[in-house]
Amino acid sequence: MLKIYNTLTSKLEEFKSRKKNEVDMYVCGPTVYNYIHIGNARPIIFFDTVRRYLEYKGYKVNYVQNFTDIDDKMINKANEEGKSVKEIAEKFIGEYFKDTKPLNIKESTTKHPKATEYIGKMIKLVKELQEKGYAYESNGDVYFDVFSDKEYGKLSHQKVEDLISGARIEVNENKKNPLDFTLWKKAKENEPKWNSPWGEGRPGWHLECSVMSMDEFGETFDIHGGGQDLIFPHHENEIAQSECSTGKKFANYWMHNGYINIKGEKMSKSKGNFFLLREILEKYNGRILRFFVLSSHYRKPIEFSEDELKMAKTGLERIETFMKRIKLLINNPIENMEQSENKYLKEQLVIFKDKFEDGMDNDFNSSKSLGAIFELIKDLNKFLDKESNPEIYKNDLNEIYNLIKTILEDVFGVELELETKIEDNLTNELVELLLEIRFKAKNMKNWELADTIRNRLKKLNIVLKDGKDKTTWEIQN
């Protein structure tokens, strides 16, 4: 049974989709005014993994992640660069896809609506809110009146009165109270603008996500995700706008991922302690970054450093070395050897599958599920070391191999590198050296040493072929 921690109720809840075997899921996407940074990459990777696990469980997932292509940051950037807001949006949407390609996101089944394509529908929603008494116009701006919404604050679990006392004092004579937020903003000179009943202007940021998600899924949908910094005010305001206009529950499950910290501090642009995704990908490939992000539970902060990335790389390589070892056994059955079943391997497979699903079913605890893979590898390596001919359990080993591959590649989206490559000249030199020693051992009739060399190389996927006067070798995959 899949359980999700719902920010709205602060509880771990059993997941029930509205439609049978189908999940509607909306994740807040970036404002496309700059290259994305590692903090943006975490929700992109994590929520893609949520989608993948739901698919593993048999759901069809309708996945939407928007692009915010109009807001203050977009306008400032356009002014800085002497370009139009549209040009900036097009450029950075292009860069977004370039940057995230190595992350192996399931783009083929993702929809990416852009805010500027929904202006008419946004105006309609603002009008509705105004008619129902939840919004008011003031000098060409339209604001949401938070006091009109009895449930305001329910996502962030704060009372309106407390929020007001904690709010920054903002000089804005147009607002009735400082917590009221913008639904429609009057256009200033040289800003992109659209006609509306309140004059020329543009939509507020929070409005965009309410309109795009409800346009795609209807008034209620299953999962709404985003970074925890979006809980207040962005998601709180999305709920207020949507539920006050429809009278229905907006999203059933609210999921929020934790921050990325650098040296214990939240990564932020203002502190200057942030990395662009493309900078990281120059040194570490996307699969390592995915593996790194999924090594922690999504609601916990991740400490980001080169050391942590290196650890993730080592962990992933440990899995790959094990997979290559099994693959070699599967591909090289010794002739004239009967295949056999192995009870221990069968049991291990069942235990491992349970542990993996148990982790993921428990609020997508990918860290626990990855731990189950490492445990399995440790146990099976011990088993293989003891067995003299593990090749005879080819079928059982094959099942284990396929399950690990499915979990890593299909669910975690981490492509495994299972081809053995001759990394550099050093490998060649070392193998040739070992062959020379083995040749000498054979001359001295030290068959035990000669066999040890052959067997140890075989464990590294290096297979020796004794010819008439020369031994050759090859790397087997």
Binding residues for Zn(2+): 28, 209, 234, 238
Residue carrying the six token digits 């090289």: 332
Quickly count: other Cβ atoms within 10 Å of residue 238's Cβ: 28
Q: In what order do the strands lie in the sheet with 60-65?
A: 110-111, 60-65, 22-27, 221-227, 251-257
Least distance CB 234 / Zn ion (angstroms): 6
Q: Which is nearer to Zn ion, 218 or 333 (CB)?
A: 218
Residues ≥6 apart with Cβ < 8 Å to 1: 14, 15, 361
Q: Considering the rule CB under 5 A, would residue 28 count as an interface residue with Zn ion?
A: yes
By beta-carbon proximity to Zn ion, the closer residue of 6 and 241 is 241
Interface stretch with Zn ion, choices 30-38, 206-214, 275-283, 399-407 (CB under 5 A): 206-214
Q: Please tell me the distance from the alpha carbon of residue 36 to that of residue 40, in angstroms, as a whole number.
A: 6
Q: List, in order, residues 6 or more apart from 378 with CB less than 8 Å away.
A: none
Q: E strands along 10-50, which residues?
A: 11-14, 22-27
Nearer to Zn ion, 242 or 296 (CB): 242
**Region binding Zn ion by CB under 5 A among candidate stretches 4-12, 184-192, 201-209, 446-454:** 201-209
Min dist CB 212 to Zn ion, Å, is 8
**Which residue is listed with tokens 């999924």?**
294
Residues 280-339 that bind Zn ion (CB under 5 A): none
Min CB(397)–Zn ion separation in Å: 46
- List the binding residues for ATP: 269
Rounded to a whole number of angstroms, the minimum distance from the CB of residue 40 to Zn ion is 13
Contact criterion met (CB below 8 Å) for 319 and 416: yes
Which range of residues in 24-32, 268-276, 296-304, 436-444 is near Zn ion by CB under 5 A?
24-32
Q: How far apart are CA 408 and CA 412, in angstroms?
A: 5
Which has the closest alpha carbon to 48: 4, 106, 96, 97? Answer: 106
**In terms of CB distance, is 209 or 289 closer to Zn ion?**
209
Give the residue, chosen from 32, 64, 78, 209, that forms a contact with Zn ion under the rule CB under 5 A. 209
Which region among 25-33, 105-113, 439-447, 448-456 touches Zn ion (by CB under 5 A)? 25-33
Minimal distance, residue 25 CB to Zn ion, in Å: 13
Looking at the Cβ atoms of 29 and 286, the one nearer to Zn ion is: 29
Give 251 or 376: the residue with its C-beta nearer to Zn ion.
251
Query: Residue 229 CB, nearest distance to Zn ion (Å)?
Result: 11
Strand duo 141-144 + 201-203: pairing: unpaired
- From 22-30, 342-350, 396-404, 462-470, give the range in contact with Zn ion by CB under 5 A: 22-30
Write down the least CB distance from residue 230 to Zn ion, Å.
6
Cα 176 from Cα 434, distance rounded (Å): 82
Q: How far is the CB of 184 from Zn ion (least distance, A)?
A: 17
**Distance between CA atoms of residues 104 and 87, nearest Å:** 26
Q: Residue 146 interacts with Zn ion (CB under 5 A)? A: no
- Residue 239 binds Zn ion, judged by CB under 5 A: no
Residue 10 to residues 155, 156, 258, 357, 448, Cα–Cα distance (Å): 9, 10, 15, 23, 64
Most distant CA pair in the chain, distance? 99
Name the segment binding Zn ion (CB under 5 A); options: 21-29, 161-169, 286-294, 437-445.
Answer: 21-29
**Closer CB to Zn ion, 159 or 249, in the complex:** 249
CB nearer to Zn ion: give 112 or 353.
Answer: 112
Window of 179-187, 202-210, 246-254, 334-342 that interacts with Zn ion by CB under 5 A: 202-210
In 3D space, the residue among 281, 308, 310, 284 whose CA is nearest the CA of residue 296 turns out to be 308
Residue 294: how many other CB atoms lie within 10 Å: 24
Number of residues binding to Zn ion, judged by CB under 5 A = 2
Q: Closest approach of Cβ 209 to Zn ion, in Å?
A: 3
Binding residues: 28, 209, 234, 238, 269
CA separation for the pair 247, 132 (Å, rounded): 11
| Axis crossing angle, helix 394-405 with helix 343-361, rounded to the nearest 10 | 10
Strand segments (E) across 129-220: 135-138, 141-144, 181-186, 201-203
Using the minimum distance from each CB to Zn ion, give the nearer residue, 220 or 273. Answer: 220
Shortest Å distance, C-beta 43 to Zn ion = 11
Nearer to Zn ion, 209 or 288 (CB): 209
Asked if residues 41 and 103 have their Cβ atoms less than 8 Å apart, the reply is: yes
Query: Which one, of 71, 365, 29, lies nearest residue 213 by Cα?
Result: 29
Q: Which positions touch Zn ion (CB under 5 A)?
A: 28, 209
